[in-house]
Amino acid sequence: MRVTIVLISGYLAAYTSGYLIERSGPAVVLTSAQQLRCAQPENQGYLPGIEFNDDRGGDCCSFVVCDSANLNKTGFLGKCMGGTVWNQIVISCDDPKQVKPKCEPTTCNIPVRTTEDCPSPLGGEQCCVGGRQPIYTRLSETRYRIDSISPNKFNECPPNEVFDIDSCCCERVYEDLPAPCNDLSSFYHTLPDEPGQPNDAMRTCCSFASCFLNRTGYALTPCMPPSVWNDRVKSCDNVFNVPECMGIFCGDETTDPPCPDENDLPPDTCCIAGQTYMYFSADLTMYMRTDGPGATFMTIQCCPEVDGVQLEFDRQQCICTDPVTDAIP
pLDDT at 114: 52
Are 86 and 63 within 8 A, CB to CB?
A: yes
- 3 state SS for 256-295: CCCCCCHHHCCCCEEEECCEEEEECCCCCCEEEECCCCCC
Burial 249-278 (b: 16+ CB within 10 A, else e): ebeeeeeeeebeeeeebeeebbbeeebbbb
- Domain CATH for 232: 2.170.140
What digits encode the pLDDT tens for the residues 210-245? Answer: 888 778 888 888 898 889 999 999 999 999 999 999
Bond preceding residue 198 cis, omega within 30 of 0: no
The secondary structure of 190-254 as a DSSP string is PPPPBTTB---HHHHHHEEEEE-TTSS-EEEEEPPTT-EEETTTTEEE-GGG-GGGTT----SPP
Q: Are residues 157 and 210 in the same domain?
A: no
Q: Are residues 31 and 76 in the same domain?
A: yes
Number of domains the chain is built from:
4
Residue 328 lies in a domain: no
Residue 327 lies in a domain: no
Q: Are residues 92 and 131 in the same domain?
A: no
Q: Are residues 270 and 311 in the same domain?
A: yes
Residue 181 lies in a domain: no
**Single pTM value for the model:** 0.35
- Strand ranges (DSSP E) for 147-189? 155-156, 161-164, 169-174, 188-189
Residue 91 lies in a domain: yes
pLDDT at 5: 38
Cβ atoms within 10 Å, residue 292: 14
- 229: domain range? 188-245
Q: Are strands 305-306 and 300-302 parallel, antiparallel or unpaired?
A: unpaired
Residue 134 lies in a domain: yes
Bond preceding residue 222 cis, omega within 30 of 0: no
Q: Are residues 96 and 140 in the same domain?
A: no
pLDDT at 9: 33
Residue 182 lies in a domain: no
Rounded Cα gap, residues 198 and 201, in angstroms: 9
Burial 45-67 (b: 16+ CB within 10 A, else e): bbbbbbbbeeebbbbbbbbbbbb
Q: Are residues 7 and 94 in the same domain?
A: yes
User: pLDDT under 70 in the chain at which residues?
Assistant: 1-26, 111-115, 174-175, 195-199, 254-255, 291-299, 328-329
Dihedral in degrees, nearest 10, Cα atoms 21, 27, 31, 36: 60
Q: Are residues 36 and 88 in the same domain?
A: yes
Are 162 and 170 within 8 A, CB to CB?
A: yes
Q: Are residues 25 and 79 in the same domain?
A: yes
Q: Are residues 97 and 10 in the same domain?
A: yes
Last residue within a domain, chosen from 217, 245, 273: 245
- Which residue type sits at 157? C
Q: Are residues 23 and 103 in the same domain?
A: yes
Last residue within a domain, chosen from 245, 272, 288: 245
What digits encode the pLDDT tens for the residues 276-320? Answer: 888 887 788 888 877 654 444 456 788 888 877 888 999 888 889
pLDDT at 230: 94
pLDDT at 221: 87
